[in-house]
C-alpha cells in the first residue's frame, strides 16, 4: 500500500503519522513505524456520495482497488466474497431495478422520489458492491466468512483513499431487498456486505468524534 500511495501521490497531512512515530520513539524505541501507511490509516474519512465527483478511477486503478480488496484474512482460502462494479450507464441501469422495487412498495410515490431511487448508485462516479458468499462449511465457521467479506469492503475503502479518492461504505434499504438483489445478479444464497461509493471529494472532509480508547478497551487481567 505504501507503493500505491507513492505512485499516485497521496496527499495526506503528515502530522498524525509523525505524532505516532514520536510516541513510538519515546515509548518503544525499537519499534519500526511506517509513516506513510500510518498517515493513510489516520486520515481516512467517509464522504457522502453526493459529495463525490469525477473523474472516476481509471480501469487500472479499479483493478488495483480490487486486487487490494482481495488481500484479506480468509480462513480456509474459501474466497467467501466477490465484487460487483457499477460504472458509467450501468449505475442507472441498476437504479431502474431499485426504483421499480420502490415504486411497487410505494405506488403513490411522486416522480421526484422515484428519480432519487433511480439514481441511488449514480451519486458517485464508481460503486463497488462487496457480495458475501458465506455458507455452512464443515470446518470454517460461517461467521468468519462474513467477517472476511467485511474486511474486503474495508480494503476497498482504504485502497480508494490510497489512490487519492474518497469513499463511503453503505448499504441502504435496497441492499436487503431480494427483488433488487436478484436484478443485480446476487444469488439467493448471497448477501451484500455493502455498496462502496468512490469518487473525488468536492471539499476536505470534516472528521467526526472517534471513540475514547478508555471506553472501548479492556486490558484482560489488569
- The residue ranges of every structural domain in the chain are 12-43, 45-203
Q: Single out the residue of 1, 43, 50, 48 nearest to residue 18, CA to CA.
A: 43
Residue 166, SS3 per DSSP: strand
Contact 102, 109 (CB under 8 A): yes
Cα(121)–Cα(96) distance, rounded to whole angstroms? 10
Does the pLDDT of residue 104 top 80, yes or no? yes
Cα(74)–Cα(152) distance, rounded to whole angstroms? 10
List, for residues 162-214, the tens digit of each pLDDT value.
999 999 999 999 999 999 999 999 999 999 999 999 999 988 878 888 999 99
DSSP 46: B
Q: What are residue 141's phi and psi, to 5 degrees? A: -60, 140
> Looking at the domain covering 45-203, what would its CATH class be?
alpha beta
> Which pLDDT score, from 0 to 100, does residue 206 have?
81
* Alpha helices in the chain, H assignment, sequence order: 2-7, 15-27, 35-43, 59-69, 90-105, 111-118, 142-162, 178-183, 213-216
List, for residues 35-56, the tens digit of each pLDDT value.
699 999 998 999 999 999 999 9
> Which pLDDT score, from 0 to 100, does residue 31 have?
47
* DSSP-assigned letters across all residues of 72-135: S--TTS---EEEEEEETTHHHHHHHHHHHHHHHH-TT--HHHHHHHHTGGGSSSEEEEEEE---
List, for residues 8-23, the tens digit of each pLDDT value.
333 334 444 454 455 4
Contact 181, 94 (CB under 8 A): no
> Which pLDDT score, from 0 to 100, does residue 14 have?
41
Does the pLDDT of residue 100 top 80, yes or no? yes
Does the pLDDT of residue 154 top 50, yes or no? yes
Q: Single out the residue of 115, 74, 75 nearest to residue 95, CA to CA.
A: 115
Other CB atoms within 10 Å distance of the CB of residue 83:
17
> Which pLDDT score, from 0 to 100, does residue 81 have?
98
Cis omega before residue 116 (within 30°)? no
Amino acid at each position: 500500500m505504501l507503493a500505491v500511495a507513492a505512485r499516485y501521490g497521496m496527499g495526506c497531512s503528515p502530522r498524525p503519522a509523525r505524532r505516532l512515530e514520536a510516541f513510538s520513539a519515546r515509548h518503544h524505541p525499537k519499534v519500526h513505524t511506517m509513516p506513510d501507511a500510518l498517515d493513510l490509516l489516520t486520515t481516512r474519512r467517509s464522504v457522502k456520495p453526493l459529495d463525490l465527483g469525477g473523474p472516476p478511477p481509471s480501469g487500472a486503478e479499479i483493478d488495483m482497488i480490487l486486487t487490494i480488496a482481495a488481500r484479506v484474512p480468509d480462513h480456509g482460502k474459501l474466497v467467501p466474497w466477490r465484487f460487483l462494479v457499477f460504472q458509467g450507464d450501468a449505475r442507472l441501469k441498476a437504479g431502474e431495478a431499485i426504483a421499480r422495487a420502490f415504486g411497487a412498495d410505494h405506488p403513490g410515490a411522486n416522480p421526484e422520489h422515484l428519480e432519487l431511487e433511480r439514481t441511488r448508485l449514480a451519486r458517485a462516479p464508481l460503486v463497488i458492491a462487496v457480495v458475501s458468499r458465506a455458507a455452512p462449511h464443515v470446518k470454517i465457521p460461517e461467521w468468519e466468512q462474513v467477517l472476511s467479506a467485511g474486511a474486503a469492503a474495508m480494503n476497498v475503502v482504504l485502497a480508494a483513499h490510497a489512490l487519492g479518492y474518497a469513499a463511503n461504505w453503505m448499504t441502504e434499504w435496497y441492499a436487503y431487498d431480494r427483488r433488487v438483489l436478484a436484478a443485480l445478479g446476487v444469488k439467493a444464497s448471497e448477501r451484500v456486505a455493502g455498496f462502496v461509493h468512490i469518487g473525488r471529494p468536492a471539499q476536505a472532509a470534516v472528521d467526526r468524534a472517534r471513540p475514547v480508547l478508555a471506553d472501548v478497551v479492556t486490558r484482560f487481567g489488569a
